[in-house]
Structure formats: structure tokens, C-alpha cells
Amino acid sequence: MFIFGNKQCDLNTPRVMGVLNMTPDSFFDGGSYFSGGKPAIDLALKQAALMVKEGADFIDVGGESTRPGAVAVSEQEEMNRVLPVVEAIVRRLDVVVSVDTSSAAVISEVAKLGAGLINDVRALQRPGAIESVVASDLPVSLMHMQGEPPTMQAQPSYLSVVDEVVGFLRHRIACCVDKGMDKTKIIVDPGFGFGKTLEHNLQLMAALEKLNDLGCPLLIGVSRKSMLQHITGRSVEQRLAGSLALATIAAIKGAKIFRVHDVKETVDVLKTYAAVYSNVG
């Protein structure tokens, strides 16, 4: 049983994390929960409630877009976007609130509000981030990213993307443990689409089971990403089928948490996967 703040979740069963982007420029739903240039708490809460009803175990709230080419936001602006939404969801809904942030200050503040997971695309490499997570006693998801969002897709290069991703995550796990974090509180994410070409993404997915050797639960985020445009030729609005196909493959290879835009459909896929594989062997 994995502990997320004051909630427990059995990760032996695949779990769904619904995406709630409190940003005006995210690639799929940017600006959907803004009104007059400000976060619309009522709209965000309504969407979160819908995702919980559809079967989400986590709601991942983010205030900084990390799509390729994204513009950085100030720490204060990130707080303005995230804190009221986290507080509202924690008060109203029975769900683990995950916060997508790299900021030590944001980590500290959302922990006070009752968040249950920190989801950091920069794997706690910013100053003070590890210390803030250790002080919060919250679990964390460490993601691999080559470069930074504004330029990460300019020219990503690897000798072996699988070995380098595994090596990076192993090193970040060790850094966190050295600073006092319990390894049982760490989740890992290979970072599909973050400083990776289509070929890199496909190589990672094909060898995804190798990340299980790290000894941490595996989170993946492939929902509606541009790798599916390259594979299928579909626009972002038409990538549901491809997203579900990748989720199924990842589940077979051992992924435990699926960060998605389409909660209901992914829940159905994972229930079907679990029904079949619970009878294997």
C-alpha cells in the first residue's frame, strides 16, 4: 500500500491520474480553466469532480506549462494558479491531489494544503526542492527530461536513450535517498516527449519494463502527445485511440500510474487489462 499524504492507494492495480492544467498555454486544454486571465476555481473544481466520478485516483494540478517551447512563469504566478485549486479539491473531493511543480516554495505550500504527491518534471534538481519534499514527507514522482521545455525538442541526442534514462533516474533516486528521503516514497517517470524524438519515445516504450529494475512504481504520461501525431497523422483532438493503445502496452510492461486527459476511457482500458492479467498464471 502506497501512502499519499492522508490517503492510501494500492499500486498493484493500475491507477489513473487525471490532468488539470491551470495554465493558458498547455498543448491540449490550455486556458480551459481560466476566466478573464485568472484561474477559474469553479470550472477547475467541476472538471476535477468529473474526473473523480469517471474513476481517477489522482488529480494532477499544474501551473506551469511544460510543452515544447513553453514560456517560464514566475514562482508567484505559479502559486496564484495552483494553490486555490489544490485547496478546493482537497476540501471537496476524495482523491489524491498531485501537484506538477519544480519549485521548492510551491512544494512547501501545497503540502500545507493537503496535497498527496509531488510530480516534478525536473526530478527535484532545482535548489531546495529535495529538502522541501523531505520536510513535507510526501511521495514524489521523478521524471527524466533532457534540457528544458523551451528548447528540449531542438535536437535531442542519446547514445542509448533507455540506458541514459535509467541511469539518470537511478542517480536522482540516490540523490534523494542521500538527502533523507525514503525510497519507498519515490515514483519514476521516463518522460515521454521531454527531450526525445519519436524514435527515442518508441525505443523507451519498447523497453519500458527495464525501468522496473529501479524498484519504484512507474508513472507514464503519453496521453495525446505529439508522438501520436507522427505515428498516426492525427491532430491532438483525434489521438484518443493511440493514447489508449500506448496505455495498454505500458500496463503490460508494468506501469502503475497513467497520467491522462481521458479518464473514463483509460479506466475502462485498465479494468480490461486487469481482468485478463489477473487470470494469467
When computed from its CA atoms, the radius of gyration of the chain, rounded to whole angstroms, is 17
Q: Are 237 and 259 in contact (CB under 8 A)?
A: no
Residue 169 half-sphere exposure toward CB, CA atoms < 13 A: 31
Instruction: Kindly name the residue from 81, 172, 225, 256 that is annotated as catalytic.
Output: 225
- Which residues sit opposite 260 in a β-bridge? 18
Q: Is 225 a catalytic residue?
A: yes
- Which residues sit opposite 62 in a β-bridge? 21, 100
Phi, psi for residue 220 in degrees, rounded to 5: -130, 150
CA distance 114 to 120: 17
Q: Is 92 a catalytic residue?
A: no
Determine the longest span between alpha carbons in the chain, in angstroms.
56
Residue positions annotated with a catalytic role: 225, 259
